[in-house]
């Protein structure tokens, strides 16, 4: 304990280097173990804290902020910040940071890997082999869909979307089409060879549709029954963004009736719970929210979140603030 140092909470088990770095500046209360604090536990642990080092599992609401008036900075080790009420933070002069850029390429690698695994039925094939179901060969045995030279659709053309587009265009000769809230500048479209479409046209044209858009009230269930109905029966749907973007019941029904060919999902509406309807389907590849999970990337994310917190509470400019209008302490 150091009465002079500001107090901060590390809300999840973090790399030793992060605890060390933060301990050099702050009086650190570090949660041990991998359990997630309940909202009440989080509120209790945040009492008297000036800073919170969190991940995507801790919800920061206006109500919580009102109950933690000393809180000045919330730094999340994630690029997504749908778990933080940014407007409520800004209104209360609480600085908020996230961890963009450092995970872009790693997440794009995984998005593409999930696309490949889904289109080429890799999980289905492995399950069949392990279960002793590989007895012979037939011309259409586990025949999937082509990735090379097909049409890659990207919904949400931010940093990660563009990194996936590059993989598709330059690595696999794919035609890239996209939809985004705002259209990319002409030079960026030319560099990626990407064509802007309406959301409806994107759904109609994509052979493989990758979801990489931020989650918000506006994007909640933006892929539901009506949208899936526009997709090709041979199409695959890949989600590496947030589970709530897809209506999972509608998706499960479409996969069951083979109205689309397959889906690859790294994110789910009720994580870590997975909709039971998805678990029984052969034509869906399911992974436990690991798109950014390489050791170098996770360490980079953790380090950036720590740098942000140090800056926010020591009067420096945090590298990746989400509300730069809130000045550091």
- The set of catalytic residues is 242, 271, 289
Instruction: State the minimum distance, in angstroms, from the CB of residue 17 to ligand 8YV.
Output: 17
Residue placing its CB nearer to ligand 8YV in the complex, 147 or 267: 267
Cα gap 277→160, rounded to integer Å: 29
Cα gap 298→311, rounded to integer Å: 20
Instruction: State the minimum distance, in angstroms, from the CB of residue 213 to ligand 8YV.
Output: 12
Cα gap 80→7, rounded to integer Å: 25
Among candidate residues 114, 72, 133, 144, the one with its CA nearest the CA of residue 241? 114
Cα gap 119→237, rounded to integer Å: 9
Residue placing its CB nearer to ligand 8YV in the complex, 103 or 228: 103
CB count within 10 Å of CB 6 equals 19
Residue placing its CB nearer to ligand 8YV in the complex, 272 or 276: 272
Q: Which helix (H) or strand (E) holds 124?
A: helix 122-130
Cα gap 278→248, rounded to integer Å: 8
CB 304 within 8 A of CB 100: no
Residue placing its CB nearer to ligand 8YV in the complex, 111 or 168: 111
Instruction: State the minimum distance, in angstroms, from the CB of residue 78 to ligand 8YV.
Output: 3
Residue placing its CB nearer to ligand 8YV in the complex, 78 or 236: 78
List % helix, strand, coil for the chain (3-state, nearest 5): 35, 15, 45
Cα gap 9→52, rounded to integer Å: 5
Query: In the beta sheet, which residues pair with residue 237?
Result: 209, 263
CB 265 within 8 A of CB 286: yes
Instruction: State the minimum distance, in angstroms, from the CB of residue 241 to ligand 8YV.
Output: 8
CB 183 within 8 A of CB 190: no
Cα gap 20→103, rounded to integer Å: 22
CB 255 within 8 A of CB 238: no
Contact residues toward ligand 8YV (CB under 6 A) are 55-56, 77-80, 103, 289, 292
Residue placing its CB nearer to ligand 8YV in the complex, 98 or 236: 98
Residue placing its CB nearer to ligand 8YV in the complex, 27 or 105: 105
CA atoms within 13 A on the CB side of 19: 11
Q: Which helix (H) or strand (E) holds 12?
A: none
């Amino acid at each position: 304990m150091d009465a002079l140092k500001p107090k901060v909470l590390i809300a999840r088990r973090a790399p030793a280097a992060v605890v060390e770095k933060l301990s050099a500046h702050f009086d650190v209360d570090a949660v041990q173990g991998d359990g997630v604090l309940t909202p009440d536990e989080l509120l209790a642990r945040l009492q008297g804290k000036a800073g919170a080092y969190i991940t995507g599992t801790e919800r920061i609401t206006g109500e919580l902020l009102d109950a933690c008036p000393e809180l000045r900075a919330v730094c999340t080790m994630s690029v997504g910040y749908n778990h933080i009420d940014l407007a409520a933070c800004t209104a209360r002069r609480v600085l908020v940071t996230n961890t963009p850029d450092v995970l872009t390429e790693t997440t794009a690698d995984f998005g593409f890997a999930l696309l490949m695994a889904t289109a080429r039925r890799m999980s289905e094939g492995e399950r069949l082999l392990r279960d002793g179901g590989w007895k012979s060969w037939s011309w259409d045995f586990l025949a999937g869909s082509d990735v090379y030279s097909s049409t890659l659709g990207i919904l949400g053309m931010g940093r990660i979307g563009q990194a996936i587009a590059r993989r598709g265009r330059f690595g696999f000769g794919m035609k890239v089409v996209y939809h985004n809230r705002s259209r990319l500048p002409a030079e960026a479209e030319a560099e990626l060879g990407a064509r802007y479409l309406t959301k409806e046209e994107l759904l109609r044209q994509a052979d493989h549709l990758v979801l990489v858009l931020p989650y918000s009230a506006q994007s909640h269930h933006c892929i539901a029954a009506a949208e899936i109905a526009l997709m090709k029966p041979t199409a695959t749907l890949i989600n590496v963004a947030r589970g709530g973007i897809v209506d999972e019941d509608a998706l499960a029904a479409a996969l069951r009736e083979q109205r689309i060919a397959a889906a690859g999902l790294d994110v789910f509406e009720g994580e870590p719970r997975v909709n039971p309807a998805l678990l029984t389907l052969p034509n869906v590849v399911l992974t436990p929210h690991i798109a950014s999970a390489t050791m170098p990337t996770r360490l980079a994310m953790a380090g950036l979140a720590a740098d942000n917190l140090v800056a926010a509470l020591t009067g420096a400019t945090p590298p990746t603030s989400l509300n730069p209008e809130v000045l550091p302490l």
